Amino acid sequence: MQLVLADMESKGITLDSALLRAQASTLAKQLEHLENSVRDIAENLLMNLNSRDQVAELLYDKLKLQAGKKTTTGKQSTAVGSLEPLRDQHPVVAMILDYRELAKLKSTYLDPLPKLVNSKTGRLHTTFQQTIAATGRLSSINPNLQNIPVRTDVGREIRKAFIAPLGHTLLVADYSQIELRVLAHIADEPALIEAFQRGEDIHARTAARVFGVDMNAVQPDMRRVAKIINFGVLYGMSAHRLTNELSIEYAEAEAFIKNYFAGYPRVRHYIDSTLESCRKTGYVETLLGRRRMIADIK
């Protein structure tokens, strides 16, 4: 692993700096337009979109929007999670959220990345850290190349700046549902193992079990719910969390989880036995023997 990472760090990756600078210029204009639009709504209020207090004054004092959560200091929160539910109350909320997203992308990626290109190699070189994250995952710094955005249109445009050298091609590969496959193996769950061996759509299979219907009767909405349950239960999602995630009644969320474990009983056993072992030893262990200490396990 060390040799592979050293080779990756040494070789680096080619960056289209001109493309990033052009994108930065475009974003600067969009940010200015959003700023001016919000200031028009704010009228005589002092308006700095980077000031949480001034944004709160505009939303909650001037526009009288329905306040949500408060900060630890007792102020009305303007965090993303607090503003998202307010989108329908006034157009300015979407403007503020868009401004923050674009400003973050510009300051984190578009502006600094071209400056980090090595003048000798003409490439971007990151540093991979093997022993920093408690989970055992690799992390990347100066710059962080493991967190280049992909979910938004602007994020996908930023990714286009990472290019192959002339005469070469970049290949992208991803394991297919690796977490659920590992779960099937480590829990020794026959229903999951058989579904993967048959090449079935595992989320559709889970939907059929959770909703009590035939695989052929599974609708897209059912599959979406099953996908959330598949990954949520794997990482300890409670019925309360599932209620919020799916906007359903608590009893319905409880029934979904109950049906899930009824269909995959070895998964329930694996989770329970892992918790029991961790409470006794104070650690959990991966398939390859890496231990993670968890002192505050309940």
Tokens of 256: 């979904």
Residue 245's pLDDT is what? Answer: 87
pTM: 0.79
Q: pLDDT per residue over 164-186, tens digit each?
A: 999 999 998 999 899 999 999 99
Cα 294 to Cα 64, 285, 297: the distances in Å are 45, 11, 6
Using a 10 angstrom Cβ sphere, with 0-12 exposed, 13-18 middle and 19 or more buried, the burial of residue 110 is: buried
Residue 150's pLDDT is what? Answer: 84
| Residue ranges, the chain, pLDDT below 70 | none
Query: What DSSP line would sit under 189-256, residue for residue?
Result: -HHHHHHHHTT--HHHHHHHHHHT--GGG--HHHHHHHHHHHHHHHTT--HHHHHHHHT--HHHHHHH
Residue 47's pLDDT is what? Answer: 84
Query: Which residue type occupies 113?
Result: L
Tell me, rounded to whole angstroms, the distance of Cα 166 from its chain centroid. 33
Cβ contacts of 201 within 8 Å, gap of 6 or more: 223
Query: Which residue type occupies 1?
Result: M
Q: Are 212 and 255 in contact (CB under 8 A)?
A: no
Residue 44's pLDDT is what? Answer: 80
The C-alpha atoms of residue 224 and residue 222 are separated, in whole angstroms, by 5
The C-alpha atoms of residue 203 and residue 209 are separated, in whole angstroms, by 10
Cα 23 to Cα 30, 107, 278: the distances in Å are 11, 12, 49
Nearest of 151, 62, 58 to residue 96 by alpha carbon:
58
Residue 135's pLDDT is what? Answer: 86
Residue 236's pLDDT is what? Answer: 87
The C-alpha atoms of residue 237 and residue 231 are separated, in whole angstroms, by 8
Q: Give, in degrees to the nearest 5, the angle at Cα 255 between 254 and 261.
A: 95
Q: Which residues of 143-159 are buried (b: 16+ CB within 10 A; e: fewer)?
A: bebeebbeeeebeebbe
Tell me, rounded to whole angstroms, the distance of Cα 55 from its chain centroid. 26
In a 13 Å sphere around the CA of 243, the CA atoms on its Cβ side amount to 9
Query: Which residue type occupies 36?
Result: N
Using a 10 angstrom Cβ sphere, with 0-12 exposed, 13-18 middle and 19 or more buried, the burial of residue 123 is: middle
Residue 160's pLDDT is what? Answer: 94
Domains with residue ranges and CATH for the chain: 2-163 (1.20.1060.10), 178-293 (1.10.150.20)
The C-alpha atoms of residue 212 and residue 221 are separated, in whole angstroms, by 14
The C-alpha atoms of residue 258 and residue 256 are separated, in whole angstroms, by 5
